[in-house]
Amino acid sequence: MACRHHILELVLASVFHALFGPTGGSDVSLFKTFQKAWSFVDQTKFHVACNDLFDAYTSVVESQMANYYTTALSESHPREGYKELIQLCLIFLNNNNNNNKTTTYIAP
């Protein structure tokens, strides 16, 4: 039986396929284009989730997500990419409590 991480990768792959179509292999052209343009991305200018993204109903979920990510960040992770994803989620939610450090992004 596959571990939950691999099962979620399969689910995510299916969602990506449904939205963007077949990729034709392991090299996804969208990601390759982004990788080539990475050196031109101004990493100091990014946008967090808009306040209108969460309404009265979903603001509870937003709070739960922020709490989960904050807790998960303090745990150990089998891969550095998992930790980076959690940090990016907190930044997106504008809940980055790491204000005394500069936010950095790993090149794709």
Which residue ranges make up each domain of the chain?
1-31, 42-108
Question: Is pLDDT at 86 greater than 80 in this prediction?
Answer: yes
Q: Which of 105, 98, 44 is nearest to 74 (CA)?
A: 98
Stretch 76-90: mean pLDDT: 82
The pLDDT value given to residue 100: 44
pLDDT at 15 over 80: yes
State yes or no: pLDDT of 5 exceeds 70: no
Q: Find out whether 72 and 86 touch, Cβ atoms under 8 Å.
A: yes
Least confident window among 49-53, 68-72, 77-81, 90-94: 49-53
Identify the band that residue 13 occupies on the pLDDT scale cut at 50, 70 and 90: confident
* pTM for the whole structure: 0.59
- Centre a 10 Å sphere on the Cβ of residue 6 and count the other Cβ atoms it contains: 10
Q: Is it the case that residue 58 has pLDDT exceeding 60?
A: yes
